[in-house]
A and B are shown apart, each in its own frame.
With several copies, the nearest count.
Chain A
Amino acid sequence: MLGPEQVPGSLEATAGTLRRDLLLAYRRRGDIINPLVFALIVVTLFPLGIGPGERLLAEIAPGLVWVVALLACLLSTDSIFRDDYLDGSLQQMLLSPQPGYFLVQAKVVVHWLVSGLPVTLMAPLLGLMLSMPGGGYLPLLVSLLFGTISLSMIGAIGAGLTVGLKRGGVLVALIVLPLYIPVMIFGSGAVVAGCEGRPYSGQLAVLVALTVLASVLAPLAITGALRINMDD
């Protein structure tokens, strides 16, 4: 019989999972550019679709950048758990004596590092392309930094719920977008306020609060969803 002292602690297990997922992300480092290029292309589509008027573009810029960032994250979210599900790693993870909570959190954090963070760093460029007013850049960066974290967390719930299904793609979007809405309202609200020179610390505070809440609560839902899906 195996005594409890032979089982690694939660910290060690989380570190192991973090290391593994970072390694996987590194092996697929080409994937990092995918959401970036997607965001770039969608931002280019808009001037083509609605006409190149600078005033109009500047007016919609804060909202547009946020919507695009959100869609870019969304598209990569659907596959957070897919590969691990298919090859059985997820099953092994959930059958291990470790609490799913922290392992899942580690996976989501890695996902954010390779999707949300790069998109955040590129956002000012998107703003520039749409001639966004100068006051909006700081709130854009900060709001996306936190906003993408909660998007990853919420998105992972959707990914967890649909991991057993073959065709997750659009379904995840459907499930998850309504849940994103508050995050987006406060995020883009801050940027709009910044563009117009109004104070935006209130919006940012709410955004950070939502992010913290999502980060501690979402893993519960994700773990539950994954356990349900394991029993197919």
Chain B
Amino acid sequence: MHPVRKQRLYIVLFIVIGASIAAGLIFYALRENMNLFYSPSDIATGKAPLDARIRAGGMVREGSVQRLGDDLEVRFVVTDYAHDVTVHYVGILPDLFSEGQGVVVTGQLVTPERFDATEVLAKHDEEYMPPEVSDALEKAGRVPQN
């Protein structure tokens, strides 16, 4: 074979082999759960590890927020409308935190039902509408998120 062609062939071969190995590995990795983020359903089905620093998120269930004592301890239920998990948190909640709103909490799972949070972030969803529309929707019996 012409030497220049031979050189090119080697290079192409090298790249093709490398790419296939990489593809295989990625395929394997996709089947593993690398996520640090768990939904209440994941937690309920036992996918989340206990006593490890993880993140969870979902909606704050309406009417579930309870202030305990006069210090900053709060308890609320995070739900994905399939399963629930109860979150304990001591600290100041962000301004936008409210019932029916999305949150991301960081902390650890003490038991499969109880999550002790060290951090609470309010998450905003992609719905945008004027208040009148939202009121109208609510009157018509549709909750304007998810």
Do any CB atoms of chain A lie under 8 A from CB atoms of chain B in the complex? yes
Q: Which residues of A contact B (CB under 8 A)?
A: 4, 7, 9-10, 51, 53-55, 97-99, 101-102, 189, 196-199, 201-203, 205-206, 208-210, 212-213, 215-217
Distance in angstroms between the alpha carbons of A87 and B21 in the assembled complex: 38
The listed residue (A98, A101, A206) touching B25 by CB distance below 8 A is A206
Residue pair A206, B26 in contact (C-beta under 8 Å): yes
Count chain B residues whose beta carbon lies closer than 8 angstroms to a beta carbon of A.
29
A53 CB to nearest B CB, Å: 6
Q: B residues within 8 Å of A by Cβ? A: 2-3, 6-8, 10-11, 14-15, 17-19, 21-23, 25-26, 28-29, 31-34, 49, 52-53, 106, 118-119
List residues of chain B with CB within 8 A of the CB of A51. 53
Residues B49 and A215 in contact, CB atoms below 8 Å apart: no
Do most interface residues of chain B lie in helix, strand or loop, or is the interface mixed? helix
**Interface majority SS (helix, strand, loop, mixed), chain A:** helix
**Chain A hits for B34, CB < 8 A:** 189, 202-203, 206
User: Complex formed: what's the CA distance from A208 to B26 in Å?
Assistant: 9
* CB–CB B10/A209 < 8 A: no
Contacts of A212 in B (CB 8 A): 18, 21-22, 25
The answer to whether A208 and B25 touch across the interface, beta carbons within 8 angstroms, is yes
Residue numbers in B under 8 Å from A208 (CB-CB) = 25
Q: Which of A198, A205, A217 contacts B28 (CB 8 A)?
A: A205
A97 and B15 CA atoms in complex are apart in Å by 21
Q: Which residues of B contact A201 (CB under 8 A)?
A: 29, 32
Q: Which residues of A contact B49 (CB under 8 A)?
A: 196-198
Cβ contact within 8 Å between B7 and A10: yes
The docked-state distance in angstroms from the alpha carbon of A4 to that of B106 is 65
Q: Tell me the smallest distance from the CB of A207 to a CB of chain B, in Å.
A: 9
Query: Besides A4-B2, A99-B7, A213-B18, 19 other CB < 8 A contacts?
Result: A7-B3, A53-B106, A55-B118, A97-B3, A102-B11, A198-B52, A201-B29, A202-B33, A202-B34, A203-B34, A205-B32, A209-B21, A209-B23, A210-B22, A212-B22, A212-B25, A213-B19, A216-B15, A216-B17
